[in-house]
Structure 1
Amino acid sequence: MKIILLSGGSGKRLWPLSNDYRSKQFIKVMGTDNPMHECQTSMLQRVWAHLNVNDLADSVVITASGIQQEVIQSQLGDEVPLVLEPVKRDTFPAISLASSFLHTHKNVRDDEVIVVMPVDVDADEGFYASIKQLAIEFEVSKANIGLIGLNPTHPSEKFGYILTEPFQKHATLLKVDRFVEKPSNVEASNLISLGALWNCGVFAFRLGYLLGRLEAENWPTQYEDLLTKYHLMPAISFAYQIYIIGTDLLGVNEYSRD
């Protein structure tokens, strides 16, 4: 398993405290898990600490905009693996660039499972255990895309919702029936009553699947070649480009957060 950690946010949600140069994931507003440490930490540092504790950090490559390089290295060190966007696009181009980097410079096999997750998450150890489990279960499935669904705690207009059905009689792997993007609170309540899950933005695919999608759309799969054409790629999210408006079979690994 390899992990692509997305850190390209624009910082609009916490503006003016955050901005393009200092997005919310870099602001030190998080408490530490160690009671002996009184200082606060950033979302980036907190997630990286969890990845280290769970022996996942060595599998990670961080994709970010070029202007974020200095702050990332100041918080995580100069040796952190970075794939930098030459211009800001969206998650589909960013994930494609990171995938081409893994293919070209890390010699990652086509059948390797790639897990993508955002850097601005605040989750317990069960979340990171679910990431490992997603990779294990996805590896033996025939799905093209796998996701982690989160059990909702309340109706919310801020989340996308996943409606599922049983998939191969598996205990935790489900088949996606449909997506509903950021519904009203009334509709969200109805979706929750139907057993819908929150789409928490964590998903998996095999490297060869994404490289094949790039080839089908006449984009290079070699890193340097894609880098030179990056500014021409559509500014679209991975979700909309690949699975929300697509027809690919998906699996969902359900994660419950107490």
Structure 2
Amino acid sequence: MFNDCIIMAGGSGTRLWPASNSKTPKQFLTIPGSGNFFKAAVDRALSVIDIEGDGKVIIIAGKNHVPHVSETCRSYSRDILKHLVLIPEPEAKNTAPAIVCGALYTDWISGRDRTILVLTSDHIINPLEVFQADAAAAAALAEKQRLVVFGIPPSKPETGYGYIEAGDGLSVSVDAELRKAYGAGGGPRAFTVTSFKEKPDKKTAEQYLASGRYYWNSGMFAFSSRFILEEFRKNAPEVILPFDKLRAPDERSYTFSSGLQVLTTWLDLDKAYAGTAAISFDYAIAEKTAKRAMVAGAFDWVDIGSWDEYAALTGRGRSEVYTVDSGNCFVDSDIPVALAGVDGLIVVVRSGKNGETPSVLIAKKGESQKVREISDQIRAAGRTELL
């Protein structure tokens, strides 16, 4: 299916502050049945790469995330770990430099053109069989020298996502065994891409939904390595040129953390990141390239973007809570919490046990999307240690 997969595991996930922060971001929060968001993404990647051959899962994360990544990967067998490699980013520069870094790595290591799937590490996707079938369709389109994006059929006029405007339908087929995941008479749906749209206001989102031509932008992409590197040189040289001084790493470039390969001494990587532009992959490439396609995701997709959504996903949680005349509350705390005479609250407490600055969030249910504004206030106040 795919030769390799790049998992973007950086970021601080401020919408789930204070549990999610720069030291322990959202992707390492617990989710039912999968360990954490990041573990679910790795499992997803392993299901669609050449695990019997030389397929690689290339994890791009911040240097301070290395302990979380290695601890999560500890559960994998030695045979699986040989397919995983972690590249710690010297600094966060958005998604375009992360994808360049991963694509250059796989190109240098293999010495040949590779099909690559890019996943984020903060989504919940089910069922896996349907995702595999849609991924196979994306791989087939990527082999034809296209940039492929996964579009999510919208269920409501959401203003928190970017949108993709679908064009003409494209013919794409998958293996008969994979096709079974769609059910009787089903199959992958693919389109050309007319345009990418920014996060809309409510009225525009309603128009998008009514038209039937627009899909949520999932942030997941597929392409071939040589194709995407050429697209960067053509459309975003300010991103890729600083990486030109890098050379392929050798065996001395790696260390191991809990059995996971970590590319710790890639010479001049710090200089490359210092010189590259901080820009998203959407702005740098997706909105500019003429060779693009979309696979409409037939799988269920959830981007947990608020405490309300996380509470609905996880239920009451495992915190130690004592209540009197209180109900409909969600508590996520690493110390005991007592509630008296309150209703409909979200309470998140981090006591600082892990060396982080203690912090508490109290929000009314249904209002947790405002946490992003709280994060902005904290940053404006110069209290970045809280983030």
TM-score (norm 1): 0.85
Structure 2 counterpart of 1:134? 138
**Residue aligning to 1:149:** 151
Residue 70 (structure 2) pairs with residue 73 (structure 1): yes
What are the within-5 Å matches in structure 2 for residues 3-22 of structure 1?
3-22=5-24
Residue 208 of structure 2 is aligned to residue 191 of structure 1 = yes
Relative to structure 1, is the Cα distance of residues 113 and 50 closer, same or farther in structure 2, using a 3 angstrom cutoff? closer
Task: State the match for 1:32 in structure 2.
Answer: 33
Determine helix, strand or coil for the equivalent of 1:201: strand
1:220 to 230, 238, 243: 243
Match of residue 38 from structure 1: none
**Partner letter of residue 223 of structure 2?**
F
Residue 16 of structure 2: SS of its match in structure 1?
A: coil
Pick one of 23, 43, 47 that aligns with 2:41. Answer: 47
Q: Which amino acid aligns with 1:254?
A: A
Helix, strand or coil at the partner of 1:162: strand
Q: How many residues align?
A: 245
Post-superposition offset of 1:64: 0.7
- Hey, what's the Cα distance between the residues in 1 that align with 2:13 and 2:193? 31
SS state of the match for residue 277, structure 2? Answer: coil
Give the Cα–Cα distance (whole angstroms) in 2 for the partners of residues 197 and 211 of structure 1: 26
Q: Which residue of 1 aligns with 2:229?
A: 211
Give the direction of change, closer, same or farther, for the CA distance of 1:163–1:232 in structure 2 (3 Å limit).
same
Unmatched runs of 5 consecutive residues or more in structure 1:
34-40
Residue 127 of structure 1 aligns to a residue in which SS? Answer: helix
Tell me the residue number matched to 2:293: 251
Decide which structure has the larger Cα Rg and report it: 2
Q: Tell me: CA distance 1:207–1:247, structure 2 relative to 1, closer, same or farther (3 Å).
A: closer
User: TM (normalized to structure 2)?
Assistant: 0.58
| In 2, Cα distance between equivalents of 1:52 and 1:142 | 23
Paired with 1:94 and 1:50, the residues of 2 have a C-alpha distance of 19
Indicate conservation of the 8 Å contact 2:141/2:293, yes or no.
no
Work out the CA distance in 1 between the residues paired with 2:134 and 2:117: 11
* 1:17-51 Cα shifts (integer Å, max 9, x gaps): 111110011012x1116xxxxxxx21112232344
Which deviates further from its counterpart, 207-216 or 172-181?
Answer: 207-216
Q: Distance in 1 between matches of 2:49 and 2:170?
A: 30
Q: Cα offset for 1:167? A: 4.3
**Higher RCO (CA < 8 A, seq sep 6+):** 1
Pair 1:90-2:94 in alignment: yes
Question: Against the structure 1 CA distance between its residues 60 and 108, is the aligned structure 2 distance closer, same or farther, given a 3 Å change threshold?
Answer: farther
Contact 1:219/1:226, CA 8 A, preserved across alignment: no
Alpha carbons of 1:107 and 1:55: their partners in 2 closer, same or farther (altered >3 Å)?
closer
Query: Hey, what's the Cα distance between the residues in 1 that align with 2:217 and 2:21?
Result: 25
Asked if structure 2 preserves the Cα contact closer than 8 Å seen for 1:155 and 1:189, the reply is: yes
**CA distance in structure 2 between the partners assigned to 1:142 and 1:210 by the alignment:** 9
Distance 1:214 1:165, change over 3 A: closer
Indicate yes or no: 2:51 matched with 1:59.
no
SS of 1:62 mapped into structure 2:
strand
DSSP 3-state at the match of 2:123: coil
Check conservation: 1:86, 1:230, Cα contact below 8 A: yes
- Name the CA distance, whole Å, in 2 between partners of 1:6 and 1:74: 17
Structure 1 residues 73-105: Cα deviation after superposition (integer angstroms, max 9, x where no partner)? 01112944111111111100111111111122x
> What residue is the counterpart of 2:103 in the other structure?
99
Equivalent position of 2:379 in the other structure: none
Higher strand share: 2
> Segments of 4+ in structure 1 off by > 6 A?
none
Which amino acid is 1:63 matched to? I
Inter-partner Cα distance in structure 2 for 1:251 and 1:95: 18
Map Cα deviations across residues 137-183 of structure 1 (whole Å, 9 max, x no partner).
Answer: 331x343x111111111110111111111145557221111121111
Matches within 5 A, 1:219-238: 219-221=242-244, 222-223=246-247, 224=266, 227=269, 228-238=271-281
